Amino acid sequence: MNGVLERTLGILELLCAHGEGLELAAIAERLNIPKSAAHRLLADLTRCGYVRQSREMGDYLLTTKLVSMGLSYLSNTGIVDVAQPLLDRLAEFSGELVRLSVVDGDRLTWVARSQGARQGLRYDPDMGSIARLSCSSSGWAWMSTLGDDEALALVSQQGLGLPAEFGPQAPASLQAVLAVVQETRARGFSITEETYTPGLNAMAAPVRLAGQAPLGTISIAGPSVRFTRERMLALGPDLLAVAAQLAAASGASPVLSRRVSSAALQPIYAP
């Protein structure tokens, strides 16, 4: 990393992945920058309120300032206002975690959720993370709306989520990813069984208006011991119905409506 901006963003992204904090030497080593430069940037980030230093260990941690900015942004876009009632309804009906992701360039980011499980095992990841396209139900659902070449290009750019890093059933080759994307395209929604996280199954459907590129995806995820393939297949029609309602209501969100307008200028690959 060479530029000041690139290094600064690299520090923020690294600390985002390490909630327990990292010491100066570790940050400099992982980002391959001199300790003196890392120290100057951390001092600036601390002064601006984005980073704080632990008194006990001297480690650097993120503050909640970035979180606050992200939540404020989502609030002002109207995405949560539009989606939350529908997410809540599907979560209550399914009894599992329901999430909404939004297409942002070549990324798919989870921006809203509703937890339907009230007791027992619950799966509840942090929002704002980027989906690994090759092994997540949301990634498969999005790629099913694209042409095969475009889908594989996205996976190649991001990299495969291998079984050792994600779930034991994660596709280990581009050919395997393409096969499950084609199955998803034929079915209308994706079904994953321990591909993203061990012990977790999930399903997802694209959110899009007819003839338009997808705005994002809506997914349901739960522990594999109860969220079985049979359960997911039974929930398929309900998932697709909520996805259609989200697409119809997308005009109420400035971000989603802009996405529709810009997507109209791009080539569309219908499943």
pLDDT at res. 192? 97
**Do residues 99 and 222 touch, judged by C-beta distance below 8 A?**
no
Q: For residue 101, with 0-12 CB atoms within 10 Å meaning exposed, 13-18 middle and 19 or more buried, which class applies?
A: buried
Q: What is the pLDDT of residue 265?
A: 29
Q: Which sequence spans correspond to the domains of the chain?
A: 4-63, 69-263
Candidates 144, 176, 149; CA nearest to 162 is 176
Residue 19 per-residue DSSP state:
T
For residue 115, the model assigns a pLDDT of 86
Instruction: Summarize pLDDT for 193-214 with one digit per residue, the tens.
Output: 999 999 999 999 999 877 778 8
How open is the CA angle 187-116-103, to the nearest 5 degrees?
A: 50
| pLDDT confidence band for 256 (50 / 70 / 90) | low
In this prediction, residue 154 carries a pLDDT of 94
The answer to whether 91 and 100 have CB atoms below 8 angstroms apart is no
Cβ–Cβ under 8 Å, residues 238 and 246: no
Polymer length of the chain: 271
Q: Averaged over 219-240, what is the pLDDT?
A: 96
- Grade residue 27 by pLDDT with cuts at 50, 70 and 90: very high
Maximum average pLDDT range among 20-29, 174-183, 240-249: 174-183
- Reading the block at residue 1, the tokens are 């990393």
Give yes or no for residue 253 having a pLDDT over 80: no
Tokens 């590129």 map to which residue? Answer: 213
Q: What is the DSSP letter of 1?
A: -
14: which residues sit within 8 A by CB, 6+ positions away?
A: 22, 27, 30, 31
Q: What is the share, in percent, of the chain residues with pLDDT greater than 90?
A: 51
Q: What is the pLDDT of residues 48-94, one digit of tens each?
A: 988 988 866 678 988 877 766 665 565 555 566 677 888 999 999 99
Task: Pick from 2-6, 31-35, 162-166, 176-180 the range whose average pLDDT is largest.
Answer: 176-180
In contact, 40 and 27? CB cutoff 8 Å:
no
What gap in Å lies between CA 3 and CA 13, rounded to an integer? 15
**Considering the domain 4-63 in this protein, what is its CATH number?**
1.10.10.10
The yes-or-no verdict on residue 269 having pLDDT over 80 is no
* Per-residue pLDDT at 262: 37
- What 3-state class would DSSP assign to 27? helix
- What is the rounded CA–CA span in Å between residue 158 and residue 244? 28
DSSP state letters, 187-230: HSSEEEESSSSTTEEEEEEEE--TTS---EEEEEEEETTTS-HH
Q: Looking at residue 146, what DSSP letter applies?
A: S
CA atoms within 13 A on the CB side of 149: 2
Angle at which helix 24-31 crosses helix 4-16, to 10 degrees, equals 120
pLDDT band with cut points at 50, 70 and 90 for residue 104: confident
The answer as to CATH 3.40.50.12780 being correct for domain 69-263 is no
Q: What is the average per-residue pLDDT within 245-271?
A: 50
Residues facing residue 205 across a β-bridge: 218
On the CB side of 144, CA atoms within 13 Å amount to 28
- The whole-number pLDDT of residue 126 equals 52
Average pLDDT over residues 126-137: 82
